[in-house]
Structure 1
Amino acid sequence: MSTFVDTMRASATGPAGSAKGMTTGEPHAPARRTWAQVHEAASRIAGALLADGLTPGSAVAVLAADPALIAPAVQAVWLSGGSVTMLHQPTPRTNLAEWAEDTLRVLNMIGAGLVLLGAPFDALAGVLDEHGVRYRRLDELAGGEPLTEPVPVAEEATALLQLTSGSTADPKAVRITHRNLMANMRAMVQAAEFDFDADTMVSWLPLFHDMGMVGFLTLPMTFGVELVKVSPAEFLGGPLLWFDLISRYRGTVTAAPNFAYAIAGRRLASVDGDDTYDLSSLRIALNGAEPIDALAVASFTTAGARFGMDPGCVFCAYGMAETTLGVSFAKPGVGLATDVVDAERLETERVAAPAGDGPTRAFPLLGEPLPGLEIRVLGEDGQELGEREVGLLMLRGESVTPGYLTVDGPVSTQDAEGWLDTGDEGYLVDGQVVVCGRRKDVIIMGGRNIYPTDIERAASSVPGVRAGNAVAVRLDAGTRRERFAVALESKLAGDPAAEKALRNEVTSKVVDAAGVRPYAVVVLAPGNLPKTPSGKLRRAAAGQQVAQLLAKD
């Protein structure tokens, strides 16, 4: 029997089930349901699914926006013995024909027997009908006969098929087992020093992303933690809602990628009145899912201090869907800590030596590996490296996925000894993990290994560049004349004089910061850089886009 399902059910039917719950609908129509009520609704949906012919082990896709609908729906699938896949959601800008084509690839890849539809995506039922995809509307399942006992499943059964970031036209799903899921959640609870009675989690993260789905729905639902959950659209419509919720609900734990903290710092700094918010309750503001920028963190903590926020709440983390969610966590209360290293030795010798008198690079310390996870660093020859030697990060442990599902079939993620190749370059120092960047994105010029994040941070510091919307891409990769370009979004796009000034300033900042000159700086209007459905920049796609634009010039 699944320990994960047992624990979730025990939390819902025990004291925490009636004392703790989930608030949704902010800011317009807030409503709170206890975890016991969520479980009751899930039991009815599960009963209806089984009566409708769902078989244990079935892959069930979910397409809904409201967390109040999603929570009982995914729990129902787990109670029924199925696996959950959260489909990427179309936006108002999405071409529905392309979305349907991409979604059909995903459904075929995972072998989905059913799609659960909820508002506002009920209107897409016609698209699914057209392609013969079986679906049920969630509002039609609410009146089922309650399931009295969960369907038994093995610990190695699939619980979650997490779609990875990247091109949805070439989909890939990480297979997370019940064992993986429970192991990683327990490890995160321990490392973050959760107090189920005292903590209140606040989140706007999308539920089709692993940080939102695992960290800010499955975890609180499994252990009975108070949760305030709104949709990404509410955050993007008014980012200060995030801090209003933390203030009003006395939130203690939240999380976001770095770009959101950059936005938050600017918005908080513009707020009138030191008593507008009370952020003194916040003990963990997890920063993960993309490279952490110390300047963005500083702007956030400086602006938040006015409202009683402790800068020690910044909680640096390293994670990936392949380990369910978390890999390493900094210690609570430490705040952002960086390792400042000799830039020349890093780039030419691949050694992160402590900084001397010359140029430096600073990397966030991402904490020790979570309990149950091992990490090692391998050199180009496959040999294990020592402390401060930069190489490929490898992971092993109970949280690590056994494999991917791809359009060409299952693919293992582990070698013969159980190690996962993360694709990230980094090093270890005093037991803590440091990530330098993705191996495939490293720019090699004049024998130097240059990480694109250094270039992107420099570009983003220029006024007029949209925060989190600058990307450095390789040109002529693997050749003797390898170069790079910077693509960025700006409201100045379309004004030739302003664009020229912006390009010159970005070039100057990049040369000062990294000692290399971009071959080109491409200025795009907002909304033109390719991104994943969860909002991450797609560097490979951006590289193709830039190469095409430069070829036309």
Structure 2
Amino acid sequence: MSRFIDTIVAMSAKSPNGLTTGEPHEPVRRTWAEIHRKARAGAAELVAGGLQPGDSVAILAADVAQVAHTVQSVWLAGGSTTMLHEPGHRANPAAWQAATLQALRTVHADLVLLGRPYESFAEVLRAHGFAARAIDETERPGAGEAFVPVEVGEDAPALLQLTSGSTAEPKAVRVTHGNVMANLEDFSAARGFGRPDDVMVSWVPMFHDMGLVGCFLGSLTTGMEYVAITPAEFLGYPGLWQELMHKYRGTMTAAPNFSYVLMARQLAATEPGSLDLSCVRIMGNGGEPIDPDAMHRLMAAGAPFGLAPETLACVYGAAENGVLITITPEGERMVVDVVDAAALEKNRRAVPAAADAAPGEVRRFPLLGYVLPSVSARIVGDKGEVLGEREVGTIQLRGASVAAAYSTEAGIVPATDADGWLDMGDEGYFVGDRLVVCGRRKDIIIVGGRNIFPTDIERAATGADGVRAGNVIAVRVAADGVGGIEKESFAVLVESRQHDDPAAAERIRDAVAARVLSDVGVRPARVLVLPPATLPKTSSGKLRRAAARDLL
């Protein structure tokens, strides 16, 4: 039996802790033992229904408690799981359905399990040739009392994790039992998961590797208490997140940068003394570019509530490594590397900036900690040569936790080269043993021989009056002559509540262009002022830069 399954079985038997869902209206707590008993019953039903070892099972459900036992059922029955993306409140139903069917073809789904509120989707799935069952059909009390988990090895797939890459060639990361357990052991040991008083509080969805592996499995495999709300509950009222940390004495959480921006706003508007966040010891920030200035604002806003600066852990992660790749040491505050913009963008070197450099002459990146023990990381140049400290290039990974393959509609394809190295598609550099990530290679905007990362443009544009903070996207614009654009450039798309006032919109366009020129040294070819809720986002609220190009 894999160590992953052994750990789940053992921890479910001995831990008194469990999972709380349903906040803020109807909180319900279930112990890990209760959830595991239901998982065994579900596994017995799946095997009786014909599920074979190695079968690919996709799951679509909104109820975290339902997902918690269903994923275990699939693993105990010898299958691999794929968490399907739920539609966001702004999703086009037809587009979401098409994307879901494509995802099922990508993972070659043998079965789709449907939970609340998606049971009615079964008819559509069957019409397209996919077997589908309601999760409720597998929930038969007592069915798993004599069930023995199906034997699986370390190389068997545990997760086929959908990526957010190109829609032209969708793929899913093939994460094995050995991969996921190596990563869980790495980060759990590095930050001491599972201490007697530990409580994880999360809103990150289970279809995201941060939610599924980092928060859920990080809690389950260490026997930690876990409080989970859905993205819809969080986005509907962002203040609920910190209120639950206060209520349950949460010690850990993890989320992408934008949600900490929302937390800072909420705390700034909260009555001092109404929350006690001194219990929090880890707030992992990853999954998207980290804005150091926004994190400084968060720490300032959180100080009156006992939130210590040392709680913030800026990290680098990816589904190709389970979830986490780097982690910052406990007790260490965020460290920001301030580098010379010209050396970075023209010479691809992260040279420390002069102390008296103007704001537009520097770029600021948080150090993302050290690489976890099961991973080796290196930076390589355009010709594959290994680069030295502070030389900017492509990040590559190799190790026990690194996935070796992707699942595609055409079949399984290698993720690594002949020597086991995985190209992450991210640009970065090392400062000593600490990793810095500059941005996605495919998103780099090349203007006048400079390699500009869109996050620098977006942060500058956010400072313009009238722009909705956190609702800005910079995208590359091809030199096709359309709209008078004769050479490679970029556009900036911003949301504003003043979008329908022509004079105000014009002022915002001018202000954005001026701010970007001042801070980054380049002028956008176009600035679009859009209504609120226009920029494309994932169902967990993250901006989708590639999809935003369709708005041009």
| TM range, smaller chain | over 0.9
Match of 1:266 in 2: 265
Inter-CA distance 314–109: structure 2 relative to 1 (3 Å threshold)? same
User: Tell me, what secondary structure is at the counterpart of 2:345?
Assistant: helix
Deviations 1:533-552 (A, max 9, x none): 44332222323432xxxxxx
Larger displacement relative to structure 2 (511-520 or 440-449): 440-449
Shift of 1:477: 6.3
- Paired with 2:499 and 2:221, the residues of 1 have a C-alpha distance of 47
Scaled by the length of structure 2, the TM-score of the pair is 0.95
Inter-CA distance 480–368: structure 2 relative to 1 (3 Å threshold)? farther
Deviations 1:278-325 (A, max 9, x none): 100001111100000012112211111111111111110001111111
Correspondence 1:258-337 to 2 at 5 A: 258-272=257-271, 274-337=272-335
Match of 1:519 in 2: 525
- Paired with 2:166 and 2:349, the residues of 1 have a C-alpha distance of 34
Inter-CA distance 473–125: structure 2 relative to 1 (3 Å threshold)? same
Structure 2: 5+ residue stretches without partners: none
Aligned with residue 82 of structure 2, among 81, 85, 90: 85
Correspondence 1:178-193 to 2 at 5 A: 178-193=177-192
Match of 1:341 in 2: 339
Inter-CA distance 316–504: structure 2 relative to 1 (3 Å threshold)? same
- Paired with 2:97 and 2:443, the residues of 1 have a C-alpha distance of 31
User: Tell me, what secondary structure is at the counterpart of 2:315?
Assistant: strand
Shift of 1:92: 4.2
Match of 1:5 in 2: 5
Letter of the structure 1 residue corresponding to residue 442 of structure 2? K
Shift of 1:221: 1.4
Match of 1:380 in 2: 382
Letter of the structure 2 residue corresponding to residue 131 of structure 1? H
Scaled by the length of structure 1, the TM-score of the pair is 0.95
The answer on whether the counterparts of 1:259 and 1:467 sit within 8 Å (CA) in structure 2 is no
User: Tell me, what secondary structure is at the counterpart of 2:305?
Assistant: coil
Deviations 1:225-275 (A, max 9, x none): 110011111101111100110001000000111111111111111112x12
User: Tell me, what secondary structure is at the counterpart of 1:50?
Assistant: helix
Match of 2:242 in 1: 243
Larger displacement relative to structure 2 (150-159 or 128-137): 128-137
Structure 1: 5+ residue stretches without partners: 547-553
The answer on whether the counterparts of 2:231 and 2:539 sit within 8 Å (CA) in structure 1 is no
The answer on whether the counterparts of 1:87 and 1:208 sit within 8 Å (CA) in structure 2 is yes
Letter of the structure 1 residue corresponding to residue 347 of structure 2? E
The answer on whether the counterparts of 2:180 and 2:322 sit within 8 Å (CA) in structure 1 is yes
Inter-CA distance 252–309: structure 2 relative to 1 (3 Å threshold)? same
User: Tell me, what secondary structure is at the counterpart of 1:318?
Assistant: coil
- Paired with 1:490 and 1:58, the residues of 2 have a C-alpha distance of 47
Aligned with residue 118 of structure 2, among 97, 102, 121: 121
- Paired with 2:125 and 2:108, the residues of 1 have a C-alpha distance of 15
Shift of 1:131: 2.9
The answer on whether the counterparts of 2:391 and 2:429 sit within 8 Å (CA) in structure 1 is yes
Shift of 1:480: 8.6
The answer on whether the counterparts of 1:456 and 1:471 sit within 8 Å (CA) in structure 2 is yes
Match of 1:550 in 2: none
Correspondence 1:212-231 to 2 at 5 A: 212-231=211-230
Match of 1:67 in 2: 64
User: Does 2:23 align with 1:23?
Assistant: no
Shift of 1:81: 0.5
Correspondence 1:339-378 to 2 at 5 A: 339-356=337-354, 357-358=356-357, 359-378=361-380
- Paired with 2:200 and 2:88, the residues of 1 have a C-alpha distance of 26
Inter-CA distance 78–477: structure 2 relative to 1 (3 Å threshold)? farther
User: Tell me, what secondary structure is at the counterpart of 2:353?
Assistant: coil
Deviations 1:198-222 (A, max 9, x none): 2110000011111001111122112
The answer on whether the counterparts of 1:196 and 1:224 sit within 8 Å (CA) in structure 2 is no
Match of 2:130 in 1: 133
Aligned with residue 542 of structure 1, among 521, 527, 548: 548
- Paired with 1:384 and 1:352, the residues of 2 have a C-alpha distance of 16
Match of 2:447 in 1: 445
Shift of 1:516: 0.8
Deviations 1:497-543 (A, max 9, x none): 11111111111211111111111111111222223444332222323
Deviations 1:17-42 (A, max 9, x none): xx111111111111111111110110
- Give aligned pairs, total: 542
Deviations 1:376-410 (A, max 9, x none): 11112221111011111111111111111122322
* Paired-residue identity, %: 52
Match of 2:488 in 1: 482
